[in-house]
Amino acid sequence: MKVYLGVDVGSITTKTAVINDNNTLLCHTYLPTQGNAIHALKKTFEQLKRLLPIDSSIQGVATTGSARHLAGAIIGADVIKNEITSQAIAALDYMPDVRTIIEIGGQDSKIIILRDGLVTDFSMNTVCAAGTGSFIDHQAHKLGIDCQQFGHLATTSHSPINISGKCTVFTESDIIHKQQTGYCLDGIIYGLCQALVSNYLSNVGQGKDIFPPILFQGGVAFNKGITRAFEEELKTDILLPPHPEIMGAIGAALLAKEELKYNKSNFRGFEMIDCDYETSLTECSECNSLCQIFQLLLDGRVISSWGGLCDSWQRT
């Protein structure tokens, strides 16, 4: 059975998705990156090897996410694409008439505007962590609850408390102040959800034409409190795909399938699990840009390089 693999390596989590010729999701993985993309990839492929159907043959591989170039070099990717493209491709496969994608991951957030099946506009926020998955996890921990309780309490609140959501520092200070004042926990939590949604719309969504159908993607989509706050603010239904947390990986798998219709895959197989990789950083001096070039080494030999603004670094 021919299958296609998508790999999404982000700063917080590493995801994979395997689809067949009918675009059916056969298996997937979701593991923490923990600041070490190479180690996370190895653990991910160990798990994936056990989950793959016995009769499957990987015909194509694509990588996406913040560590897509590193992952692509290690596993021999046929396609390396940015997160905007991968998220959009997955959304369109699930819902061809989607017009807006809200994507909030562990460390950043995005909005993607689509019209007639094409990306017409997008915006990303990689500077402020307020509203991302890691920030919500941190706040839930400080409040002494898990993320599932966080979402449940937010959906049951009838009296949300006004919380400042303009930055992480102000938000944390405001939550502490509200707790010390004696406000109820569910009101504080849903007030936080409203603040984070307002922050997202005024920053990432500023100036965007946000029209339904709207798909909510990324791990934060599981938080029912955030979904409720979006629906109230935008006054429309917010839709979730079956697997919002791995949509980037699904999109990458779809891209791999499209690319490998007539070509042979460069996939190196699962041998990478036992290889010892190193990374290094060098500076290109061919021009005044002085680009930092990332290198991937195997047994002391450079097997891949990337990162230059132009092609001059390839001559060094």
pLDDT digits (tens, 9 = 90+) for 38-54: 999 999 999 999 999 99
Number of H helices, E strands in the chain: 9, 12
Q: Which domains does the chain have, with CATH numbers?
A: 2-88+248-274 (3.30.420.40), 96-240 (3.30.420.40), 277-315 (no CATH)
Q: What is the pLDDT of residue 97?
A: 97
Q: Which residue has the higher pLDDT, 148 or 74?
A: 74
pLDDT above 90 (res 125): no
pTM of the predicted model, to two decimals? 0.89
DSSP symbols for 8-75: EE-SSEEEEEEEETT--EEEEEEEE-TT-HHHHHHHHHHHHHHHS-TT-EEEEEEEESTTHHHHHHHH
Q: What is the pLDDT of residue 184?
A: 83
Residue 77 CB contacts under 8 Å (≥ 6 apart), including other chains? 7, 61, 62, 63, 68, 71, 266, 267
pLDDT above 60 (res 316): no
| Closest-CA residue to 62 (of 83, 76, 77) | 77
Eight-state DSSP code of residue 160: P
Beta bridge partners of 296: 279, 304
Q: What is the pLDDT of residue 102?
A: 97
Q: Is 143 exposed, middle or buried (0-12, 13-18, 19+ CB in 10 A)?
A: middle
pLDDT above 90 (res 129): no
Q: Which residue has the higher pLDDT, 166 or 218?
A: 218
Mean pLDDT over residues 153-158, rounded?
86
Strand spans (E) along the chain: 2-9, 13-20, 25-32, 57-64, 79-80, 100-104, 109-115, 118-125, 214-217, 277-283, 292-298, 301-306
Q: What is the pLDDT of residue 12?
A: 87
Q: What is the pLDDT of residue 310?
A: 73
Q: What is the pLDDT of residue 166?
A: 64
